[in-house]
Amino acid sequence: MGSKINIYLYTVILLLITLISSCNRDPNIYKVEGKLANAEAGHFYASYERGDSVHVTTITIDKNGEFSFEGEIDTLTVMSLYFNENIKNTFILVDKGWDVKIEGDLLYTDLIDVKGGSVNDDLTSFKNKNSELLKSRADILMSTGGSNTNNDSLPVKDYVVELKNINFELSNIAAAYIKANPDKIASVMLINNFFKDESALPRLDENLALLKGKAIDFPLTAELKKFRDKVKASSVGTYAPHFSLTNIQGKNIQLTDFRGKYLLLAFVSTTCDICKDEKKDAIAIYNELKKQKKNIEFVTIVKDIEQKPLDDNISDSIKWNIIPVNGGWGAKTFDTYYIREIPYNILISPTGYILERDLRISALPGKLKELELSNQK
């Protein structure tokens, strides 16, 4: 009888200690702890935005993959976690008072369990229901990302098809979830994961239009709408955004200077090796098109001149306008035309409309012939 009473008293004391500790905890503090397999470094980075500032914290992770950290926050926030020298990453959501627990394998970051807080729980539930597809996608990406795929059972072309099919199926599942849960923050996160892409612009628009309630008010929703509007501003079929810039000869060059002609607008960098390799092809194609008296001009906009200046004799081989810009990826023209990779070519019509984005230089002669035949009809 006495032992039963002692056990009862011990339990009551533990509950009282837990209650007192929880009462003393700062309500604005979040806590994150977890254990991850295949963590290759003794630390990782946690990053989140607050206002116009980006906060980055270095978190210690021990040899067993265990870690714990906490911080103060005033609203629901998306936090990005970068592991293994930034090669692997995932995200979590934190809010004041939340206890977030993370568990999984860094080889499968899309399958990492994140529990604690309604949004994390919703997203983990989505991942668990679609774990087979997510794992298959990760396996394909790991296989094709390696330098040697000789032991793989599928040819590379089959990988591409299978990956495309998996992504399409996952995007449809995500769209169904968003339609069924338009007021959940998890729906906003799924839109960001599956539809924040230039090629998925119509679906991005469609899913954003479904959102309701707190999902509309979540800050990421505003960012997604801003992204959509930016991409739309320079998408195929739209009027090309105006620019007025100075070329290497000091002459002002404007988009309207090329009305009545096709214009190939090329975006490159002085630090881009692929751009250098493509330059020879561009020169050959330009010279041939001019021999054929094709109604086209080229303009090349070059970034990173702060890091590596343009060659003094570049105009000896390139006979079209070359326009250097400051600011790297943040240069206004790169931003206006939503350029995220280089080299990148945009074809603009004689009337100023964007005909095609990401046009390979080798495909330009065929595209012009196609346009000529279309105009004749």
Please indicate, yes or no, whether residues 27 and 8 belong to a single structural domain of this protein: yes
Q: Give dist(CA 195, CA 202) in Å, integer.
A: 9
Residue 144 lies in a domain: no
Residue 140 lies in a domain: no
Say which residue, 270 or 3, is predicted with more confidence.
270
Please identify, among 196, 213, 233, the residue that sits at the C-terminal boundary of a domain: 233
* Mean pLDDT, range 200-224, rounded to an integer: 95
- Alpha carbons within 13 A on the beta-carbon side of 76: 16
Number of domains making up the chain: 3
Q: What is the pLDDT of residue 6?
A: 63
Please indicate, yes or no, whether residues 351 and 258 belong to a single structural domain of this protein: yes
Containing domain of residue 181, as a range?
A: 156-233
Could you tell me which of 246, 319, 317, 325 has the C-alpha nearest to residue 276? 317
Please identify, among 129, 146, 179, the residue that sits at the C-terminal boundary of a domain: 129
Please indicate, yes or no, whether residues 248 and 351 belong to a single structural domain of this protein: yes
Q: What is the pLDDT of residue 165?
A: 94
Residue 139 lies in a domain: no
**Alpha-carbon distances of 306 from 248, 269, 303, 324, 328, rounded to whole Å:** 14, 11, 8, 10, 8
Please indicate, yes or no, whether residues 263 and 366 belong to a single structural domain of this protein: yes
Most confident of 58-62, 153-157, 314-318, 371-375: 58-62
Please indicate, yes or no, whether residues 331 and 265 belong to a single structural domain of this protein: yes
| % of residues, the chain, pLDDT over 70 | 90
pLDDT at residue 224 greater than cutoff 50: yes
**Alpha-carbon distances of 279 from 145, 282, 375, rounded to whole Å:** 28, 5, 30
* Rg (alpha carbons) of the chain, rounded to whole number: 27
Q: How confident is the model at residue 151 (pLDDT cuts 50, 70, 90)?
A: very low
Residue 60 lies in a domain: yes
Residue 59 burial (CB count, 10 A)? 15
Q: Give dist(CA 138, CA 304) in Å, integer.
A: 34
Please indicate, yes or no, whether residues 181 and 257 belong to a single structural domain of this protein: no
DSSP-derived secondary structure for 136-169: HHHHHHHHHHSS--TT-SS-HHHHHHHHHHHHHH
Please indicate, yes or no, whether residues 124 and 170 belong to a single structural domain of this protein: no
* CATH code of 13's domain: 2.60.40.1120
Write the pLDDT tens digit of every residue in 340-368. Answer: 999 999 999 999 999 999 999 999 999 99
Please indicate, yes or no, whether residues 258 and 343 belong to a single structural domain of this protein: yes
Residue 238 lies in a domain: no
Please indicate, yes or no, whether residues 199 and 219 belong to a single structural domain of this protein: yes
Strands 296-303 and 321-324: parallel
Write the pLDDT tens digit of every residue in 245-259. Answer: 999 999 999 999 999
Q: What is the mean pLDDT of the chain?
A: 90
pLDDT at residue 275 greater than cutoff 50: yes
Residue with tokens 């729980």: 121
Q: What is the pLDDT of residue 317?
A: 87
Please indicate, yes or no, whether residues 211 and 282 belong to a single structural domain of this protein: no
Please identify, among 178, 211, 233, the residue that sits at the C-terminal boundary of a domain: 233
* CATH code of 317's domain: 3.40.30.10
pLDDT at residue 146 greater than cutoff 60: no
Candidate from 10-14, 24-28, 51-55, 161-165 with smallest mean pLDDT? 10-14
Please indicate, yes or no, whether residues 264 and 362 belong to a single structural domain of this protein: yes
